[in-house]
Amino acid sequence: MTKRILIFGSSRNDGNTSKIVDYLKQSLDFDLINLNDLNISHFDYSHKNRDDDFIPLMKKIIDYQQIIFATPVYWYTMSGILKVFFDRLTDCLTIEKELGRKLRDKQMSVLSTSNDDSQTEEFFLPFILSAEYLGMDYIGNIHTWLENEKIPDIVKNRINHFVKLHLTN
């Protein structure tokens, strides 16, 4: 069975992204990492932060074949907390190259959440290009939203289709 991990990067643990992730959990088996539970500081060129939670998290992540990022749309891009994680991937190209190499051929997918269906494909570009740079296999993305705090049927269908098409083959 494919080992999957979902990296959750919203600024609130009980918000819209969390509701979408809960729905996804009904049809997909994955372990979850909530970046809010970890102490991961901004990228530091002199790596004084090498003892925070980033490297241990990466050592855990490389045990998984599929990595799913779940983020709200904040100012047209991924959440700040997830961007800090992505900046820190630079550690895997410098002081932890062996870890970086282990990311190769792992599958990446992205789930975004906002308040409507207006998401453009440009949103996913940083993920697509980062996957390419890291030698990862980008398997797709899905945009979701809530209406009156509920997941509309169209979004549920989209998630179900995405799971079937991309995540469980």
Phi, psi for 86 (deg, rounded to 5): -65, -40
Closest separation between CB of residue 139 and ligand FMN, Å? 23
Cβ proximity to ligand FMN: between 55 and 73 the closer is 73
Closest separation between CB of residue 46 and ligand FMN, Å? 30
Cβ proximity to ligand FMN: between 76 and 133 the closer is 76
Cβ proximity to ligand FMN: between 41 and 115 the closer is 115
Cβ proximity to ligand FMN: between 11 and 157 the closer is 11
CA distances from 165 to 19, 20, 38, 138, 141 (A): 21, 18, 32, 14, 11
Closest separation between CB of residue 29 and ligand FMN, Å? 22
Half-sphere exposure (CA, 13 Å, Cβ side) for 23? 24
Q: Is the torsion defined by CA of 3, 7, 13, 18 positive or negative?
A: negative
Cβ proximity to ligand FMN: between 16 and 141 the closer is 16
CA–CA dist 82, 72 (Å, integer):
10
Closest separation between CB of residue 90 and ligand FMN, Å? 24
Side chain identity, residue 105: D
Closest separation between CB of residue 37 and ligand FMN, Å? 15
Point out which residues bind ligand FMN (CB under 6 A). 10-12, 15-17, 72-76, 113-115
The alpha carbons of the chain give a radius of gyration, in whole angstroms, of 15
Contacts for 62 with CB less than 8 Å, ≥ 6 apart: 99, 102, 103, 106
CA–CA dist 101, 47 (Å, integer):
19
